[in-house]
Amino acid sequence: MISTIKKSLFIVSLTFWATVSVAQTGNYAGREQAKDGGISSSMLEVIRTGYNATPAEKAVKNALSGTSIQVLASTAENSFIKDTHFSNVVKTKGITNQMSSGRCWLFTGLNVLRAKVIAKYDMPKFEFSQNYISFYDLLEKSNLFLQGIIDTKALPFEDRNVDWLFKHPIGDGGQFTGVANLITKYGLVPKEAMPETYQSTHTSDMRSILSQKLREFGLALRDSNEKDLQGMKVKMLTEIYSILTKCLGVPPTQFSYTRYDSKNVPVETKEYTPAQFYKEFVAEDLENNYIMVMNDPLREYGKVYEIAYDRHVYDGQNWVYLNLPIEKIKEMAIASIKDNTALYFSCDVGKFQNRELGLLDLNNYDYASLFNTTFPMDKKQRVMTGASGSSHAMTLIAVDLDEKGVAKKWMVENSWGERSGYRGNVIMTDEWFNEYMFRLVVEKKYVPKDVLKMMDQKPELLPAWDPMYLDED
């Protein structure tokens, strides 16, 4: 009996290991008919013909093994900027630096305003305090998250809105609507009144701490049976405020400021509150004086769209934009620049970018020749597939027009420091502008009446997680 059992176990064992052996070796080598959608051995043989080991292919493979793709794809013709002349340039002074933070939207918005202030008062280099607005931006975003959790408390945790809130509790990216809402609510101060700190210029760790606390608070709000959820929220925001003051400093409520002229001669010294400083130096209705236009080839032109939860201030405005053809956007941009007025501009800055030169040109890199392939997708297809989208905001300050008034190239003031790019700026060809420009914020006085009329439409509401409408950083 025992002998029979041993014999049976031996046979079973042989069968098991034979099966494992086939599964680990021969099964892959001899499988002609793979499961539907898999790679069979015969298919793999065809695929392997993609590399023929010709001298040219060996040379490319060897080069790629030790050199970056961008270096090898760089075109010799674009190794320097051939023409830096611009027919129309907005007068501004100084280059800002957001450093290791996602605040390009804020620097861009403030750079638009500071250009006006410099021109109005004939000032030397001047900056508003980015840190001051950053402080209240993070405080307001914390409230936006916590109130969003309260508003969705009755929904299951798996609901898409709840899921989105917990995945995106806070960040330092944004867009122009946030600039307008925050300045209108909290005013402005000069940089001297609240200078940058290490944490304001290196925000990753601070964002991580804030995100962790907000998620913790969010769970507490959802699990609470208390009726006083607003009271709980105030206590939570008090703790967030404490963290922010340790990282960024205490926002001033009153300060002294001396204004200088372009020769650095003091003109006057006065006491201000942030609201008074905003009223005296900017003195415009930021929430109603501008419209945001977008070139989104996925959606119908001439229509207005609104992005749910895409705002900085809970009691402020969602991001609303009018979708327009690129040529109509250019007309407004040219009109503004000709009148010495800079514009908030955003684009997919990483595409065909020569960062050292500060040049955005479709001819900077020849990836097709390097890999012996083609990249035929147009702007609509790139957006549709997630291959392109707005990623960075800068200040549009110049255009070079030909004798017929047609744009040949453009220039933006960046916020990556004066040593970055072309004297802190970035030059882009008009062809690049067509393919990778997405958003522009324009003063209403430069907007044609028929375009302004389009803004009277009721916006179509889009979800916060739409991939095309992520915040710029």
Q: Which residues are catalytic?
A: 104, 392, 414
- DSSP codes of every residue in 279-333: HHHT-S-TTTSEEEEE--TTS-TT-EEEETT--SSTTS--EEEEE--HHHHHHHH
With beta carbons less than 8 A apart as the criterion, state whether 378 and 424 touch: no
Residues 411 and 391: their CA atoms lie apart, in Å, by 17
| Burial of 30: CB neighbours in 10 Å, binned 0-12, 13-18, 19+ | exposed
420: left (phi over 0), alpha (psi -120 to 50) or beta: beta
With beta carbons less than 8 A apart as the criterion, state whether 258 and 123 touch: no
Pairing of strands 359-360, 425-429: parallel
Residues 462 and 242: their CA atoms lie apart, in Å, by 35
Nearest to 409 by CA among 425, 433, 392: 433
| Partner residues linked to 425 by β-bridges | 413, 422
At residue 359, what are phi and psi to the nearest 5 degrees?
A: -130, 125
- The CA distances from residue 53 to 47, 61, 63, 143, in Å, are 14, 9, 14, 60
Residues 128 and 355: their CA atoms lie apart, in Å, by 26
Pairing of strands 437-443, 343-347: antiparallel
HEC assignment per residue over 168-181: CCCCCCECHHHHHH
With beta carbons less than 8 A apart as the criterion, state whether 132 and 179 touch: no
HEC assignment per residue over 382-449: HHHCCCCCCCEEEEEEEEEECCCCCEEEEEEECCECCCCCECCEEEEEHHHHHHHEEEEEEEHHHCCH
Residues 295 and 454: their CA atoms lie apart, in Å, by 15
With beta carbons less than 8 A apart as the criterion, state whether 71 and 364 touch: no
Paired tokens of 298:
């996925």
Residues 338 and 117: their CA atoms lie apart, in Å, by 17
